[in-house]
Structure 1
Amino acid sequence: MMNNEKKGRTGVLTVMIVAAIAGALMQTSLGTALPTLMKGFDIDLATAQQASTWFLLVNGMMVPLSAYLATRVKTRTLHLVAYFLLLAGILTSMWTPESADFWWLFLAGRILAAMAVGIMLPLSQIVVLNMYGKNERGAAMGMLGLVIGMSPAIGPTLTGWILDKNHSILGWTLSDSWRSMFVIPLIIIVIAIVLTPFLMKNVVPNKKIALDVSSVLLSTVGFGLFLWGFTNVASYGWSDLGSVIAPIVIGALVLAAFVWRQLKLPVPFLDVRVFAKKNFTIPTVGLLLTMMAMFGVEMMLPTYLQNVRGMTPLNSGLTLMWGALFMGFLSPVAGALYNKVGIKKLAFVGFSMLTLGTMPYLFLTAETPTILISVLYAIRMAGIALTMMPLTTAAMAALPDDKNADGTAANNTLRQVSASIVVAILTSVVQNIVNNNRPSHSLKLTDPLKYADKVLDASLDGFRVAFLISMVIALLGIILTFWIQGQKEADEC
């Protein structure tokens, strides 16, 4: 399919959107289910959070490979492989025996799903960039952003609805077990698999490029060790040499070697030279801040609502529903606004909304009205909608078409790395504050009410610090917008 060719574009975009819904739901819908998983597998928060951090870790490791695969493998074939891989991951996690001894199998399913999503979402962006001209990409990326943004946002509500009581979907009865949350992504990815042979086209031009095995190993080991170190923080603390400090430092050194090798190769595995272009790098950094601010609250808020407020999974999901709706509504609008007002103003407004929507979370109590939490979350998600895909579009607009695959891979790799790091850091912050401020067990025996109050205070302190970190990240986004160039300035560069 030639660039800008309109025939068949709608079908291709439809398949990718359907599959992206399943992938995006698998990425972050576990937020509401963490307390249920903790109870079902008899594990603590730090262990349960591995279901998210390992997903993000493997996702980040796979994304650099997506650029090579998109160029080397036919578009339709690569989509089918990714979809079947996601199906295998869903089924593996879904049928894991409910025991702490089998938690590794649940994580194995998450890893398979992460490998699939690490291919799917970057590939979708590469396909859009190849199908649409620069004047049309804003709207097309906005539609893709509707899924990438709204599906993770609506995941807590959907998961809460599923876990609350029995439901029936297409004749399939869902119980209140955590297994039920995989049914909807399972059905969606099967639909995508059925549609792919009929609607998917071979869009991305293929070239026979030799795979640089050394680059793959350096990338995999580097990102793997680096992110693994961060995932261990919640369990071992920042001072642990073997499980935290050493993996992070060694991973960073291996990644430095990876970058050095890419600069020396005539045909790099991942062309890191795209970061030499300021109009690509600055919006990409803004996108990282958006992802970190989004995940920072999205992964913490459902746990606060259930563990501190005592809400059911459904009610905690409903509390966050307005944010999902705002994000879904504004994502296509943001794509249109990008072409009209430019990225600089759009990003400033978005990060400002994100900051203002996060600030009141610093003062959350066990009695904070849920309507206030809903309104603030909606403001935050509206801000994310105004920044996420517009920043992605602005970054990619700075690159020539032949660098779309490299730019998308670099962009998505850093997104997943930043999300994984922030989830690990905030989980460790909450866990450590709770552990350090937990009252003695003797108080539980002598004064149970006072013990419960102190446990609640410790949890609230942990969540408040996590929200403070998220607000600081949003503030950094506001500062960054002063370095973002408007479209006119960018075109002159």
Structure 2
Amino acid sequence: MNEKRPYNRGLILAVLMIAAMSGALMQTSLGTALPTLMTAFNIDLSTAQQATTWFLLVNGMMIPLSAYLANRIPTKMLHIVSYVLLLIGISLSMFTPERQDMWWLFVAGRIVAAMAVGIMMPMLQVLIINMYKPEERGTAMGLMGLVVGMSPAIGPTLTGWILNKDHNILGLTLSSDWRSIFVIPFIIIIIATILAPFLLKDVMETKKLKLDVTSLVMSVAGFGLFLWGFTNVAAMGWSDFGQVILPIVAGVLLLAAFAWRQLKLPVPFLDIRVFAKKEFTISTVALLLATMAMYGVEMMLPTYLQNIRGLSTLDSGITLMWGALFMGFMSPVAGILYNKVGVKVMCYFGFGILALGTVPYVFLNATTPTIVISVLYALRMAGIAMVMMPLTTAAMSALPDEKGADGTAANNTLRQVSSSVVVALLTSVVQNVINNNTPSASLKASDSIAYAGQMMNASMDGFQTAFLISLIFAVLGFIFVFFMKSNKEAN
């Protein structure tokens, strides 16, 4: 039940944001480390990306369950359990032996961590809705965006800095080994775990709800099959029926049956009726497009910088650093501006900046100055910050408060699943373009220089195609703004 004594909103939000920082770092910190992991475990790009795609997918699959857990388990207990779960997941990945046959353990750790993050992140939004009045939520969501937005954005830079050389922080030695990229998130979540019993309160009232196991199984199987098909595209190609087409189709059918079941249940596992509210649906779709446009470049760029440009992990991280800083600066500003000018104006500017910043990426080559890449990346992340929290706030404000947990679960589920799909999709696109344009082995034997040049061109074609798809997402997002209301909050 809800604790009757007053609680300090600021202290609760502080603990939640500390924990969210650790979870958010886990989402994208591997981006810069992929080439290092490929070497350490002797795996290819498509296999290495599984650590990201499966994290994002499991994160998305857990979010519908988080709505049930938020109503069933006291706030404090739920968070403490999720923090401990995140500690276990980080530990599994961090201590995986460097062997190709042990890669599954690394991915298993990512899956366990994703389960924890899939509970923590949506709960942060739900608690903000429950603790703050509608007129205060823009600022609170902006502060949340400072952590939830900036942490994954700064992840690649932080990873590059760690992998460049050994570091000594407050007496703690961080070696340049890939395991060290997990140390900082590990320490952060330990701090949150220690503070949680003393500072967190049971903000939401609990209810005796029955878990619909059938819906849970259908959603997990549906999303799992759907992504499994996409992750197999890189290795198998779109013509493979058994491991690509069949899983995707089966996943779509299962998800359709899942949706139909939710409409029939008196108390649905995931209340998709929230999409009957037009403003919620439009804001959510626009948010998905912004998310896919962000990940489409953010997850591909470090590999381009290291494999094509030959940059070190540190230099590739520094190249992306200004984007993280711009996003961190703009997130709270966007929250304040949302309260003043409304979501529609914010999104026109945000998606416009995002699209303009993405256009030059389609024409990147092996000699594009890194300063140009860095400036464009900063511009893109500023545009992302201008739309991300305002769209989230607008979507949640379109629903009554009692539907906040359901709306958050639906919104975040689609966002995380779209993230995992776009990473798997673009990885497969890059890999397929490279495979289709790889020069013959005979050329390698007769003219190694010409072979290297053609391989470079094949890789560039792959990355340019991925960036073009990201541009399409940004343009579609701009178009969707036309259908949004111009008032400050959707009602």
Give 1:311-460 correspondences, 5 Å limit: 311-460=311-460
User: Cα distance, 1:488 vs. partner?
Assistant: 6.0
Shift of the 96–278 alpha-carbon distance from structure 1 to 2, 3 Å rule, reads same
Give 1:63-82 correspondences, 5 Å limit: 63-82=63-82
After TM superposition, where is structure 1 displaced by more than 4 Å over at least 4 residues in a row? none
2:224 aligned residue: 224
Name the amino acid aligned to 1:345.
V
2:47 aligned residue: 47
1:28-68, Cα deviation, whole Å (9 max, x unpaired): 11100000000000111011011101111111111110100
- Looking at structure 2, the residues matched to 189 and 420 of structure 1 have their Cα atoms a distance apart, in angstroms, of 24
- Looking at structure 1, the residues matched to 78 and 125 of structure 2 have their Cα atoms a distance apart, in angstroms, of 14
State whether residues 342 and 489 of structure 2, in contact with CA within 8 Å, keep that contact through their aligned partners in structure 1. no
User: Cα distance, 1:442 vs. partner?
Assistant: 2.1
Give 1:28-427 correspondences, 5 Å limit: 28-427=28-427
Identity %: 69
1:250-290, Cα deviation, whole Å (9 max, x unpaired): 11111111111111111111111000000100000000001
1:145-198, Cα deviation, whole Å (9 max, x unpaired): 111110111011100000000012332212111111001001001001001011
State whether residues 57 and 228 of structure 1, in contact with CA within 8 Å, keep that contact through their aligned partners in structure 2. no
- Looking at structure 1, the residues matched to 146 and 243 of structure 2 have their Cα atoms a distance apart, in angstroms, of 38
State whether residues 126 and 204 of structure 1, in contact with CA within 8 Å, keep that contact through their aligned partners in structure 2. no
Q: Number of residue pairs matched? A: 491
- Looking at structure 1, the residues matched to 326 and 102 of structure 2 have their Cα atoms a distance apart, in angstroms, of 38
State whether residues 63 and 409 of structure 1, in contact with CA within 8 Å, keep that contact through their aligned partners in structure 2. yes
SS of the equivalent of 1:168 reads strand
User: Cα distance, 1:224 vs. partner?
Assistant: 1.4
User: Cα distance, 1:230 vs. partner?
Assistant: 1.4
- Looking at structure 2, the residues matched to 489 and 149 of structure 1 have their Cα atoms a distance apart, in angstroms, of 21
1:416-461, Cα deviation, whole Å (9 max, x unpaired): 1110111111000100111111112222222111111111111101
TM-score (norm 2): 0.98
Shift of the 488–416 alpha-carbon distance from structure 1 to 2, 3 Å rule, reads closer
SS of the equivalent of 2:135 reads coil
User: Cα distance, 1:362 vs. partner?
Assistant: 0.9
- Looking at structure 2, the residues matched to 430 and 303 of structure 1 have their Cα atoms a distance apart, in angstroms, of 11
1:465-490, Cα deviation, whole Å (9 max, x unpaired): 00000001000011000001122684
SS of the equivalent of 2:485 reads coil
Q: Does 14-23 or 170-179 show the bigger shift?
A: 170-179
1:25 aligned residue: 25
Name the amino acid aligned to 2:292.
M
SS of the equivalent of 1:115 reads helix
Name the amino acid aligned to 1:370.
T
Shift of the 325–6 alpha-carbon distance from structure 1 to 2, 3 Å rule, reads farther
SS of the equivalent of 2:202 reads coil
SS of the equivalent of 2:281 reads helix
2:16 aligned residue: 16
Name the amino acid aligned to 1:421.
V
Name the amino acid aligned to 1:205.
E
Q: Does 209-218 or 181-190 show the bigger shift?
A: 209-218
SS of the equivalent of 2:482 reads helix
Shift of the 488–76 alpha-carbon distance from structure 1 to 2, 3 Å rule, reads closer
SS of the equivalent of 2:201 reads coil
TM-score (norm 1): 0.98
- Looking at structure 2, the residues matched to 405 and 224 of structure 1 have their Cα atoms a distance apart, in angstroms, of 23
1:48-104, Cα deviation, whole Å (9 max, x unpaired): 011101111111111110100000000010101111111000000000000101000
Aligned alpha-carbon RMSD (Å): 1.5
SS of the equivalent of 1:214 reads helix
- Looking at structure 1, the residues matched to 198 and 387 of structure 2 have their Cα atoms a distance apart, in angstroms, of 34
State whether residues 343 and 488 of structure 2, in contact with CA within 8 Å, keep that contact through their aligned partners in structure 1. no
1:223-245, Cα deviation, whole Å (9 max, x unpaired): 11112211222122112111111
1:354-381, Cα deviation, whole Å (9 max, x unpaired): 0000000111111101110010000000
- Looking at structure 1, the residues matched to 6 and 377 of structure 2 have their Cα atoms a distance apart, in angstroms, of 38
Q: Does 257-266 or 5-14 show the bigger shift?
A: 5-14
- Looking at structure 1, the residues matched to 474 and 33 of structure 2 have their Cα atoms a distance apart, in angstroms, of 26
State whether residues 17 and 147 of structure 2, in contact with CA within 8 Å, keep that contact through their aligned partners in structure 1. yes
1:481 aligned residue: 481
State whether residues 335 and 390 of structure 1, in contact with CA within 8 Å, keep that contact through their aligned partners in structure 2. yes
- Looking at structure 2, the residues matched to 125 and 222 of structure 1 have their Cα atoms a distance apart, in angstroms, of 26
Name the amino acid aligned to 1:77.
M
- Looking at structure 2, the residues matched to 430 and 456 of structure 1 have their Cα atoms a distance apart, in angstroms, of 13
- Looking at structure 2, the residues matched to 170 and 185 of structure 1 have their Cα atoms a distance apart, in angstroms, of 16
User: Cα distance, 1:337 vs. partner?
Assistant: 0.5
Q: Does 174-183 or 312-321 show the bigger shift?
A: 174-183
